[in-house]
Structure 1
Amino acid sequence: MSFTLAGKKIGHVGFGMTSLLRPGKETPREDAIAVMKAALNAGANFWNAGEHYGTPEWNSLHLLNAYFTMYPEDADKVFVSVKGCFDRTTAKPTNDAEGVRASIEYCLKILDGKCHIDLFQASRGDPDVPIEVTIGATAEYVKAGKVGCVGLSECSANTIRRASAVHAVGAVEVELSLFETSNLKNGVADACKEFGIPIIAYSPLSRGFLTGQLQKYEDLDEKDFRRMFPRFQPDVFDENLRLVREVEQIAAQKGCSVVQVALSWVSAQSQVIGVPVVPIPGASAISRVEENMKLVELTKQELKQINEVLGTIEVKGGRYPAAFARYEQV
Structure 2
Amino acid sequence: MVHNTVKLGGDIVVAKVGHGLMMMTWRPTPVSDEEAFAAIKMFLDSGEFYGQDLYTGNLELLSRFFEKYPECADRTFLSVKGGLVPGQLAVDGSRENLRRSVDTILKALRGTKRLDLFEPARRDPNYEIEHYAEVLNEMVQEGKFDYIGLSEVRAETIRRAHKVMSIAAVEIEVSLQTYESQTREVTATCAELGIAIIAYSPLGHGLLTGHIKNQSDLEEGDHRRDYSRFQENNIDHNLQLVNTLSSIADLKGITIAQLCIAWVGSLGDYIIPLPGSSNARRTLENRLAGEVDLLTEDLAEIAQLLEKYPRKGGRYVDATDD
TMscore range, shorter length: over 0.9
**Partner residue in 2 for 1:199:** 197
CA distance in 1, matches of 2:96, 2:133: 12
**Partner residue in 2 for 1:53:** 50
Q: Is the 8 A contact 1:176 1:183 kept in 2?
A: no
Matched, 1:168 2:162: no
CA distance in 2, matches of 1:323, 1:103: 31
CA distance in 1, matches of 2:170, 2:107: 25
Matched, 1:68 2:71: no
Counterpart AA for 2:34: E
**Partner residue in 2 for 1:101:** 99
Distance 1:142 1:16, change over 3 A: same
CA distance in 2, matches of 1:81, 1:58: 14
Matched, 1:23 2:15: no
Distance 1:216 1:46, change over 3 A: same
Shift of 1:186: 4.6
Segments of structure 1 that go 5 or more residues without pairing to the other structure are none
CA distance in 2, matches of 1:17, 1:138: 23
CA distance in 1, matches of 2:132, 2:166: 13
Identity of aligned residues (%): 37
For residue 126 of structure 2, give the secondary structure of its aligned residue in structure 1.
coil
Give the alignment partner of residue 283 of structure 2, picking from 289, 300, 306.
Answer: 289
Distance 1:142 1:323, change over 3 A: farther
Q: Is the 8 A contact 2:263 2:294 kept in 1?
A: yes
**Partner residue in 2 for 1:269:** 267
CA distance in 2, matches of 1:96, 1:323: 30
Shift of 1:249: 1.6
Distance 1:237 1:324, change over 3 A: closer
**Partner residue in 2 for 1:208:** 206
Segments of structure 2 that go 5 or more residues without pairing to the other structure are none
For residue 82 of structure 1, give the secondary structure of its aligned residue in structure 2.
strand
Matched, 1:33 2:37: yes
Q: Is the 8 A contact 1:151 1:169 kept in 2?
A: yes
For residue 112 of structure 2, give the secondary structure of its aligned residue in structure 1.
coil
Q: Is the 8 A contact 1:16 1:282 kept in 2?
A: yes
Deviations 1:78-135 (A, max 9, x none): 1000000112544211112111111011111111221111110111122222122123
Q: Is the 8 A contact 1:15 1:48 kept in 2?
A: yes
CA distance in 2, matches of 1:75, 1:176: 28
For residue 75 of structure 2, give the secondary structure of its aligned residue in structure 1.
coil
Shift of 1:32: 1.2
**Partner residue in 1 for 2:302:** 306
CA distance in 2, matches of 1:73, 1:255: 35
**Partner residue in 1 for 2:223:** 225
| Correspondence 1:116-265 to 2 at 5 A | 116-182=114-180, 186-265=184-263
Distance 1:58 1:3, change over 3 A: closer
| Greater CA drift, 109-118 or 3-12 | 3-12
Shift of 1:322: 5.1
Q: Is the 8 A contact 1:8 1:77 kept in 2?
A: no
Counterpart AA for 1:27: V
Deviations 1:217-272 (A, max 9, x none): 332233221111111111111011111112112112222110010000011111xx
Distance 1:148 1:306, change over 3 A: same
CA distance in 1, matches of 2:318, 2:92: 19
**Partner residue in 1 for 2:110:** 112
CA distance in 2, matches of 1:57, 1:151: 21
Deviations 1:164-207 (A, max 9, x none): 11101000100000111026755211210221001010001000
For residue 17 of structure 2, give the secondary structure of its aligned residue in structure 1.
coil
Counterpart AA for 1:199: I
| Greater CA drift, 149-158 or 121-130 | 121-130
Q: Is the 8 A contact 2:49 2:87 kept in 1?
A: no
Q: Is the 8 A contact 2:93 2:132 kept in 1?
A: yes
TM-score by length of 1: 0.90
| Greater CA drift, 246-255 or 192-201 | 246-255
CA distance in 1, matches of 2:199, 2:15: 13
CA distance in 1, matches of 2:167, 2:181: 17
* Paired positions, count: 315
